[in-house]
A = this chain, B = another copy of it.
């Protein structure tokens, strides 16, 4: 609506969200609690987020007419997924609408080679990696990284998709074949004990806050369960917070970020990847913290001061995948279980339909 919206955005302002899935839905709910109106842009009519927002614009993310309508309606735009096209951000920016987190964060998060190169440049440790563009660079990468190693497409791909293991050097071309000979990254395996994550936020004024660490359990490449606060030594929490702060500062970031970590023997942390958005491993904050990651993100993009991040309870968050959501009746009867459902119609196998947070008192 204006080239530089007056910040902090007053209640009554309108926030745009690119993406109408569950993250957009929970962001919209948080924004409305703070008195904001929300407009969702999503190609699918009647999206989960659209049904809790003031309005949904139905359109593709590169639909210039839809973007024009969004920019006219909104003071600031954010998003629920990291694959927002760079052109979309450029278009919205040209229309005078600010997008947060910004283009630098998206560029780094959308390409695994750019991401790991960026992390290396700012001194954040990752596994060893090498870019793969063709068979020649593939063989050079395998020679350098060794095997077993993991070949991933540079772009897209999540929840274990677009990946192939190279068990022996001789498997390299078959693995490249399997991921469709797309531009890729070859990564050394991390010899990790646990997968942790840190959900952090950076405000417009550069202030940074971090939630306690999450201890994450995946099955078949999909997050199944998070326990938070994770048991971790203070030095390990400091390490994670320093990593998050480096990333956020280097990207001049505004909003919540989810940083996935590998914990090596001895407590050293490597960054697996980061997502420039609210994160599934931060859903525990909805019932475990005074200000959850969704409100925190809205506060940041709206230029409000950030809120407290201390844990009030120990939470076990479990995703409800596909038909698991049919257990709602049993879950509703558990006194320690808080239910969050996304309003999705069809419970296809593996689809994230909701999650539950089971609460226990914090141990002393």
Contacts and interface: CB of A to CB of B under 8 A. Distances in A.
B51 A54 contact: yes
A34 B339 contact: yes
Contacts of A220: none
A10 B52 contact: no
Interface residues of A, number: 44
A272 interface: no
B29 A33 contact: yes
B51 A32 contact: yes
Contacts of A312: 312-313
A8 B330 CA distance: 11
Interface string A30-44: 001111110000000
B54 A11 contact: no
Interface in A280-308: 287, 290-291, 299, 304-305, 307-308
A335 B307 contact: yes
Contacts of A52: 28-29, 32, 52-54
Given A12-B345, A291-B338, 6 more contacts: A8-B332, A28-B52, A29-B33, A32-B51, A52-B52, A304-B332
A175 to B, nearest CB: 40
A329 B340 CA distance: 30
A139 to B, nearest CB: 50
Contacts of A51: 32, 37, 53-54
A359 interface: yes
A343 interface: yes
A299 B335 CA distance: 13
A342 interface: yes
Nearest to A343: B35
A192 interface: no
8 contacts: A10-B328, A11-B325, A28-B52, A32-B51, A35-B354, A299-B332, A307-B335, A308-B336
A291 to B, nearest CB: 7
A25 B12 CA distance: 15
Nearest to A25: B32
Nearest to A54: B51
Nearest to A335: B308
Nearest to A302: B332
